[in-house]
């Protein structure tokens, strides 16, 4: 997830500039933000980028505009077991 200051300009960059497609857009009135997903293919088959536009925030410092990267897997417990088998401790206590 990447926080953006200007949703229209960001969509121009990702869609017009990089050739991605707008896949999904949803406004959350109570949270005062809009989530937009862009990518080269569907969420089911390709990696996508989530852009979040917080209606009341007009700028970000370097570092606080980036939120997270999420990867979808069919079985998160199996994926974490495989990561641990390869020596990664990053999944140790984070699966919810």
| Mean pLDDT computed over 57-86 | 76
CATH number, residue 41: 3.10.180.10
* 8 & 55 share domain: yes
Q: List, in order, residues 6 or more apart from 4 with CB less than 8 Å away.
A: 10, 51, 52, 53, 65
| Mean pLDDT computed over 33-57 | 92
Q: How many CB atoms lie within 10 A of CB 30?
A: 5
8-43, pLDDT tens digit by residue? 999 998 898 888 899 999 999 999 999 999 999 998
Q: What is the pLDDT of residue 94?
A: 47
* 58 & 76 share domain: no
Domain housing 31? 2-65
* 46 & 80 share domain: no
Mean pLDDT of the chain: 83
* 19 & 60 share domain: yes
**Pairing outcome for strands 48-54 and 33-39:** antiparallel
* 56 & 78 share domain: no
Binning pLDDT at 50, 70 and 90, where does residue 62 land? low
Q: What is the pLDDT of residue 13?
A: 86
Model-level pTM greater than 0.75?
Answer: no
* 81 & 38 share domain: no
Token digits for 56? 């009341």
Q: What is the pLDDT of residue 90?
A: 54
Cα distance between residue 95 and residue 38, in whole Å: 26
Q: What is the pLDDT of residue 54?
A: 93
* 59 & 42 share domain: yes
* 60 & 80 share domain: no
């Amino acid at each position: 997830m990447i926080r953006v200051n200007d949703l229209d300009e960001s969509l121009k960059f990702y869609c017009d500039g990089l050739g991605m497609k707008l896949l999904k857009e949803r406004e959350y009135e109570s949270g005062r933000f809009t989530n937009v997903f862009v990518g080269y293919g569907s969420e089911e088959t390709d990696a996508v980028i989530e852009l979040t536009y917080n209606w009341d925030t007009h700028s970000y410092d370097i570092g606080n505009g980036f939120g997270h990267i999420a990867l979808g897997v069919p079985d998160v417990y199996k994926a974490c077991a495989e990561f641990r088998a390869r020596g990664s401790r990053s999944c140790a206590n984070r699966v919810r």
